[in-house]
Amino acid sequence: MSENIIGANGPSEPGTVSKSKIRIVVADDHPIFRDGLCRLLALEEDFEVVAQAQDGRQVLDVLQQHEPDILLLDLKMPGLDGLATLQRLQIAKNKTRVIVLTASDDKNEFVQAMKLGTSGIVLKQTATELLIKSIRKVHAGEIWLDSHTTAAVIRQFVANDEAPPAMHALPSAPATRERERSPLSQREREIVALVAQGFKNKEMAEKMFISEQTVKNHLHNIFDKLGVSDRLELALYAIHNNLHTGR
């Protein structure tokens, strides 16, 4: 490790790390925020902060040395910023799952981060318990976005008529082809597209000239066919598989 890379908990003896712990690296250029976050994460029995970094170049060194499960990455860092770091990690095919932890409200940055393989986006003003939950969810293979961020990302993808090629597959996605009992009907595909565009059940019913209960019935069948558990997973699945336009 270079001398500028900051150890989180001091040196550890080989073989002493519990395999059950989620190994985390925190990357942020503000020492007070970074140290405070590490202390909060250290309170969780299943977390271990293995290192810190204050810019993108340090992140690359730290990940190579520690191979953590999760990287909490600030987007606004000096030198190599968060997006540039994500590009490097994508090229290197790094397996660490990344959660962008940012104070930015730039929707374009959210979209770019998702395209570059980010598994989660958490705003710095988010409650601590939600950040902790996001780490566990992402470690389990899920994608984490809050409702505000999800809506922004979905709208941006729909506006640009594109799907994020580098987005990690949802945990249910690999099983989807196995579990799908029959292809989606045209009406079901229309509903999937409307969900991905942020329409609510009542709005979809009015738009499609059907009852709200019929919409709910269609959603139940869609969830069962695709193996997703909620509207967020369905929306992200739709974007990932280019179903969000309804075409």
The span from the first CA to the last CA of the chain, in angstroms, equals: 51
pLDDT of residue 104: 80
3-state secondary structure 27-93: ECCCHHHHHHHHHHHHCCCCEEEEEEECCHHHHHHHHHHHCCCEEEECCCCCCCCHHHHHHHHHHHC
Indicate whether 127 and 36 sit together in one domain: yes
Domain, as residue range, for 183: 169-240
Among 157, 182, 208, where does a domain finish?
157
Can you give the CATH number for the domain in which 202 is found? Answer: 1.10.10.10
pLDDT of residue 10: 43
Indicate whether 85 and 207 sit together in one domain: no
Identify whether 245 is part of a domain.
no
Plot region of 122 (φ>0 → left; ψ -120 to 50 → alpha; else → beta)? beta
Indicate whether 198 and 76 sit together in one domain: no
Query: Which residue's entry shows tokens 């079901």?
Result: 188
Confidence bin at 65 (pLDDT 50/70/90): very high
Pairing of strands 97-102, 47-53: unpaired
Q: Which two tokens stand for residue 53?
A: 């970094």
Indicate whether 126 and 13 sit together in one domain: yes
Q: What is the pLDDT of residues 196-239, one digit of tens each?
A: 777 888 989 999 999 999 999 999 999 888 887 777 678 777 77
Among 157, 188, 219, where does a domain finish?
157
Indicate whether 44 and 119 sit together in one domain: yes
Indicate whether 107 and 212 sit together in one domain: no
pLDDT of residue 112: 83
Residue 245 predicted with pLDDT over 70: no
Indicate whether 192 and 117 sit together in one domain: no
Has this prediction a pTM greater than 0.85? no
Distance CA 41, CA 56 (A): 21
How many separate domains does the chain show?
2
Helix axes 107-115, 82-92, angle to 10 degrees: 10
Element (H, E) at 134: helix 128-139
Residue type, 207: K
Percentage, residues of the chain above pLDDT 70: 74
Residue 15 predicted with pLDDT over 50: no
76 CB contacts (<8 Å, ≥6 apart)? 29, 82, 102, 103, 104
Residue 38 predicted with pLDDT over 50: yes
Identify whether 176 is part of a domain.
yes
pLDDT of residue 14: 46
Identify whether 146 is part of a domain.
yes
Indicate whether 182 and 153 sit together in one domain: no
Confidence bin at 113 (pLDDT 50/70/90): confident
Residue 159 predicted with pLDDT over 90: no
Which 3 state secondary structure label does DSSP give 22?
A: strand
Residue 8 predicted with pLDDT over 50: no
Indicate whether 120 and 16 sit together in one domain: yes
Cα maximum dimension of the chain = 65
Identify whether 247 is part of a domain.
no
Plot region of 181 (φ>0 → left; ψ -120 to 50 → alpha; else → beta)? alpha
